[in-house]
A and B are shown apart, each in its own frame.
Chain A
Amino acid sequence: QSAPTQPASVSGSPGQSITISCTGTSSDVGGYNYVSWYQQRPGNVPKLIIYDVRTRPSGVSSRFSGSKSGNTASLTISGLQAEDEADYYCSSYTSTSTLEVFGTGTTVTVL
């Protein structure tokens, strides 16, 4: 079971929008609308920010949005802020024996 692929790093200036991709297979990302995104600030616990491809939990900023096309899911952060500097991980349900798989992770830097 290979982890869905994410870019190692993405950067942007304050106020800009950035998009992080998460490319899997038809056995995980492409096969189910069960993609989640987690934000992990340095030294902190992962925090759920998107689930079921595009649903935001209560309390999560509307600047975060999710989408999916084929085997690739995407997380867009609009109006980038310094507090958005963190690692971001996608995850997906998978039909393989592992049941769930995390993406490789992306470090977001605010310039």
Chain B
Amino acid sequence: EVQLVESGGDLVQPGGSLRLSCAVSGFTVSSHYMTWVRQAPGKGLEWVSVIYTGGNTYFANSVKGRFTLSRDDSKNTLYLHMDSLRPDDTAVYYCARRAAAAHTLDRWGQGTLVTVSS
């Protein structure tokens, strides 16, 4: 069964750092493009970043230069490293799998909440 489980969300002060994890099962994380999407409280979905199967990463302009994305194939886990956090980064962060043969996100994790506040 395909599963994506995020963890690492927490309350952090502005300017702080956090690392989110997305542990996957039922498929190989390196065989799919993997995406992070976030949703601020009461707001819509916002695409954050993607890592391609070859390891290339891309980021939304709002997080570029502050967030990095990595993958540990031995642990079948994806990591989102977030630095210089700002209050407007407060959101539920979802890890999602891009379908193998379509430009769409076919499996989502349950999300992890990041709160940036003093």
Contacts and interface: CB of A to CB of B under 8 A. Distances in A.
Interface stretch (B13-21, B79-87, B103-111): B103-111
Interface residues of A, number: 28
For chain B, the bracket of interface size reads: 20 to 34
B93 to A, nearest CB: 12
Given A34-B104, A48-B104, A102 B35 contact: no
Contact of B99 (A1, A51, A99): A51
Interface string B53-68: 0000010110000000
Interface of B: 35, 37, 44-47, 50, 58, 60-61, 94, 99, 102-106, 108-111
Interface of A: 1, 3, 32, 34, 36, 38, 40, 45-48, 51-52, 55, 57, 87, 89, 91, 93, 97-105
